[in-house]
Structure 1
């Protein structure tokens, strides 16, 4: 099959769950003999024809690695039209592009709790963010033929938000081998710690939706109870300086290490000496970093929430606090009994085997083949056409949102000015 992977960002060297899934899909689908092409946004000059990676020019969104654009390059449009199946990995900047330019069935995997991210990044009250997503989620998923939910809880959330398109559960997969047998295992001395120290680790973005201030607050309480407890934080993001200041204010500088973003293929090496993986995030859909830590034999400490509860079994391969305020007790429990920690780590390693990427890819290929046989996209085309979406449809909603987040100086440079053109453009089909 000629398979198109559509993503709003694509840099396989960074720790990003959706990007990692795209990279793994490409690798394993090609090993099965399929031709995989990546369609993404960024610097168009970085298009790599040999690797079949087409980048269309986009506007960078801060330091998050994401881009926005209203269209794809002509070359990308023509290539998309040649695909047998298209698999999208972001909602707004992927599904609509695929619907506009592709001539085949479209699959969309929902990797993100957009309802929680909307509230976090736009500083909206959660009820307002939910109201927005009750319009956006169904509207954009209507342009796909099947929605993949990586967990049962995500399937329920999508249904609760009014998604009308068929939803299938296919869990995210990881490449187990690097975590089962790391190439260059590190030791605690590589962290500058004695082997007797107890070490927790977090791997991921340093951004607001990950609740890292809560993680540090809870760690400081746990460290008071367990003086030889340490925390290593891997990753980069806009909150780094704020988090470093918080560490200083809490007086735990000697116990917290900011290790930065290490190359992905080195993550298994650094996990080896870690006693347990911890996170305070409640916005996970199906957390790859947790699954990877489990594959490395590390028990998990987290807050009970959708996605995480689908992955971690409380008391077996980790501990789940009912609220973030209980995470300090979870951290202490994870390291207080080394024999228990090791036993839970072995259980975590065993549990991770169900997330083997080869199983995930096999289930996804089976879905692709079913769609190629049924061709539900032909019905979708009749219902929605292939015209680009008219931005004025969203003008009222965006303007209402802009009133909430408009600059305090009263200027009109709100969201409309940043996200919508000053005058609606006439949509054009690709064939013109």
Structure 2
């Protein structure tokens, strides 16, 4: 059965983050299966881009919450009626804020099935709105329980997140479906000349072993630990490249200065989505110390580019980063240093892990495989809706 599917997300192009990557991958995969897919997101003014199938709902900027973040107060009636006339079968939200509220109105008016993907473990972000982790976790648990028990189906990217929602007493059916990514840009090998020019522009010598972090610069990403470990490293001839932006950048730059690491660490800032692939290919290894991931899309992007990963141990990553096969997980500095040296001093081992990593990502995390699993969830929700209607 071909469906009309509305994907709702607070942020969309040109912003780059894990949720947007997941949404774009899902849209592509579902369209390849013949479904009609449109996006509802927030913008500076209300409009509809018919070429891209994207509705923009007028909203206000709130950058102090998140770079590019916006909030909508009242849905535009004309746009809302246009969506009602289109008549989606599935309403699939990706966030718990303005667009979730619109989705509840659409669900009420259309009777369409409401699916929600829970992308973010807000317990790891309570420091943004309270100084008490205990109070913050209670607030998150209660709000999540209230919101998610209203929807028909919940999708989570990992067992870790499913167990967390169960502990919040979320009773809606929960499906564990890891997000896929569009692998095209990671399959396209950048030319040696382009990589050489990028190294030159960043001031990195040609024969240097490059470790990369790519993502948001925020407290929960634990980048300060990576810098502390790099300060202790005895390994010569390596460079740590940090790509991205965020509220912790000034603090991290100060840490680099205080530790006299300026010759070994470069902050490249925010890059556009079409540049991401070449940065992964530029690197020899991807580093991350985050334990706030729901599944780690940047890990998967790195593997798809043939770049092994060294990351802090986290059960959610166990199936992605396998020691000695696609990278290494560490628990302390000693294990971090051993993993780093194993790759930096053995080109054959580095190449082997890169080959394993790329093959694994291509086979497991394609847009097509992702869309097929989500489609099954949609089918289940529609059949339950039909049964409820008959009874």
TM-score scaled by length of structure 2: 0.89
Contact 1:30 1:36 in 2 (8 A): yes
Higher mean alpha-carbon deviation, 273-282 vs 96-105, is at: 96-105
Structure-2 separation of matches of 1:377 and 1:80 = 25
- Residue of structure 2 aligned with 1:95, choices 100, 103, 119: 100
Which residue of structure 2 aligns with residue 107 of structure 1? 115
2:138 aligned to which of 131, 153, 173: 131
CA deviation string 1:349-371 (max 9, x = no partner) = 12212111110011111221232
Could you say which residue in structure 2 is the equivalent of 1:236?
A: 245
For the 8 Å contact 2:116–2:151, the answer to whether it is kept is: yes
In 1: Cα distance, 2:177 partner to 2:333 partner: 28
Q: Distance in 2 between matches of 1:65 and 1:71?
A: 19
How far apart are residue 210 of structure 1 and its match? 1.4
Q: Partner of 1:187: helix, strand, or coil?
A: helix
2:180–2:367: 8 Å Cα contact kept in structure 1?
Answer: yes
Contact 1:18 1:89 (C-alpha < 8 Å) held by counterparts: yes
TM superposition shift of 1:30: 2.4
Aligned residue number for residue 80 of structure 2: 77
1:124-173 deviations in Å (ceiling 9; x for gaps): 33222221122011111012111111112221222122211110011110
Distance 1:329 1:76, change over 3 A: farther
How big is the shift at 1:123? 4.3
Aligned positions of 1:97-246 closer than 5 A: 97-102=102-107, 103=110, 104-117=112-125, 119-184=126-191, 186-187=194-195, 190-192=198-200, 193-222=204-233, 225-246=234-255
Unmatched runs of 5 consecutive residues or more in structure 2: none
Quote how far apart the aligned CAs of 1:283 are.
Answer: 0.5
Residue 304 of structure 1: aligned partner: 313
Contact 2:47 2:79 survives alignment (8 Å): no
Q: 1:358 aligns with which of 343, 356, 368?
A: 368
Report the CA distance between 1:374 and its aligned residue: 2.2
For the 8 Å contact 1:95–1:141, the answer to whether it is kept is no
Shift of 1:183: 4.6
Deviates more, 1:2-11 or 1:317-326: 317-326
Taking only aligned residues, the RMSD between alpha carbons, in angstroms, comes to 2.3
Deviation at 1:23, TM superposition (A): 1.6
| Alignment check: 8 A CA contact 1:304 1:323 kept | no
- The structure-2 alpha-carbon separation of the partners of 1:331 and 1:93, relative to structure 1 and needing over 3 Å to count, comes to farther
Q: Aligned to 2:325, what secondary structure does the other structure show? A: coil
3-state secondary structure, aligned to 1:286? coil
Stretches of 4+ aligned residues off by more than 6 angstroms: none
Could you tell me how far 1:278 is from its partner in structure 2?
Answer: 0.6
Shift, 1:307, TM fit: 2.5
- CA distance in 2: counterparts of 1:323 and 1:163, whole angstroms: 35
Task: Quickly say closer, same or farther: Cα 1:346–1:172, change in 2 above 3 A.
Answer: same
TM (normalized to structure 1)? 0.81
Seen in structure 2, the aligned counterparts of structure 1 residues 365 and 179 have a Cα distance that, compared at 3 Å, is same
- Cα distance in structure 2, aligned partners of 1:187 and 1:319: 25
2:380 maps to: 370
SS of the equivalent of 1:40 reads: strand
Pair 216,76 (structure 1): closer, same or farther in 2 beyond 3 Å: farther
Provide the residue aligned with 1:6 in structure 2: 8
Checking the alignment, whether the CA contact within 8 Å between 2:15 and 2:68 is kept in structure 1 is no
Asked if 1 retains the 8 angstrom alpha-carbon contact of 2:243 and 2:268, the reply is yes
Cα contact 2:29–2:368 (8 A) shared by 1: yes
**Partner deviation per Cα, 1:182-237 (whole Å, 9 max, x = no partner):** 35454356323344311100111122221222222222222xx1121111111122
Change over 3 Å in CA distance of 1:377–1:60 after alignment to 2: farther
Size of the alignment, in residue pairs? 376
CA shift at 1:28, angstroms?
2.8
